[in-house]
Amino acid sequence: MSSFIDQVITAPNSKYLSKLANNRVVVFGGSSGIGFAVAEAAIEHGAYVTIVSSNAQKLADAQSRIVARYPDRGEYISSAVCDLSKKDDAETEIEKALDLAANTGPSTPGHVDHIVFTAAGSIETKPLSELTASSIDEAFAVMFLGGALVAKQASKYLRKSPSSSLTFTGGVNTYKPGDGWEVLAGLGAAMEGLSRGLAVTMRPVRVNLVSPGAVITERWERFGEAMGPIAEKFKGETTTGSLGTPEDLAEAYLYLMKDKFATGSVVHSNGGRLLV
């Protein structure tokens, strides 16, 4: 007996909810935070999803959580370990992850339909006086270098069609950086430039970027007792008086996967941070 999800996405009048049905979606950074929510959302839309992360245990836990939430869709989720910080091995691991995804599900093997890149590594802000060449390199290693290498391999696996997409992740601090965010603001700008350049190079495949504001994820746990005051500060810098959730942001990525006319675009989801 088919599940409710199956009935919805295969219904004759399901013009919009079925857009991702049986698509292959790969989410780099999919074991937690925004990436995990994107994986869940794609599963709900009937896609076959491969989540990719550097931590094997986190991947296993994330996959178990998704199977527990969608028990009738266990065959729709797979995972692959890929450590983008290991420059010498990253490209090989990216290729293995995409090859796994390209051969998952009932569709003709050898391709994927959408790739979402939310991987960020352990990026932290530092005072200008404490910046070093290695800390700057570390900030760019996973997101920019990793993103560029993913794009290189993606060109082999994504269908050559506007129905396929590659979506990167930036941040609101590119436009309105706080004190000490200069390197990360530069990184966000670099990701936007990369996505626009790739939108031209990889055409007709679509390449876009989501620029989130302050979003509550597992990474906030590092603030400890300071989490409450920090959250209130960020809320005060929005027009909505709220923080984003991974589930909120997942909608932006779904949109960019589904809109076959969107490319070279930046989609903002920041609670009005740019207006305050």
pTM: 0.94
Predicted confidence at residue 253, as pLDDT, reads 98
pLDDT along the chain (276 residues), means of 10: 66 85 96 98 96 97 97 95 92 97 89 96 77 87 95 97 98 93 94 98 98 92 85 96 98 98 98 97
State how far the Cα of 272 lies from the Cα of 36, in Å rounded to an integer.
24
| Domain layout of the chain by residue ranges | 20-271
Q: Which fold has domain 20-271?
A: Rossmann fold (3.40.50)
Tokens of 34: 């925004």
Share in percent of the chain as helix, strand, coil (round to 5): 50, 15, 35
